[in-house]
Amino acid sequence: MNTQMTVLASLTLPGHPRSVRHARRFLRDTLVPAHATDGGEVLDDLTLVVDEFAGNAIRHTASGRGGQVTIALLLGSGAVRVEVTDDGADGRRPEVRDAPEDESGRGLHIVQALAAAWGHRADGHRTTVWADVRLTPAR
């Protein structure tokens, strides 16, 4: 994918579980109808990704202990990037668990299946987790 990306919008929310719902709505309101016009499949994939990333930020980092979480949407050549930045997890970073059949910990496996690419980057004590989802679903 082309590394040139244009920021469509960003939103900072309180690190409260209710904010995940607002993150999903923000994603849908920002992308529809101008950028996600495939009948909903790409939008559904992006919604799952933002739900997983925002939920993890609130459950597993300082964002969920009175902090904030920032959601950013970027548009590149043929893909949308979702970025979620948290307030830090004492140096821990996201990782895919070895046992996807466990009752919890499957979310990043789902992200890995839906995204063309995903990863994270440190910003001091904070972490930004990102995923690129193609605008035209792979068949």
Domains of the chain: 6-134 (3.30.565.10)
Residue type, 121: R
Is the pLDDT reported for residue 23 higher than 80?
yes
How much is the pLDDT for 137?
A: 56
What does residue 119 show for φ and ψ, rounded to 5 degrees?
180, -165
| Chain segment 89-115, per-residue pLDDT in tens | 887 777 776 665 655 567 888 999 999
Burial class (CB in 10 A: 0-12, 13-18, 19+), 105: middle
Determine contact, residues 49/82, Cβ cutoff 8 Å: yes
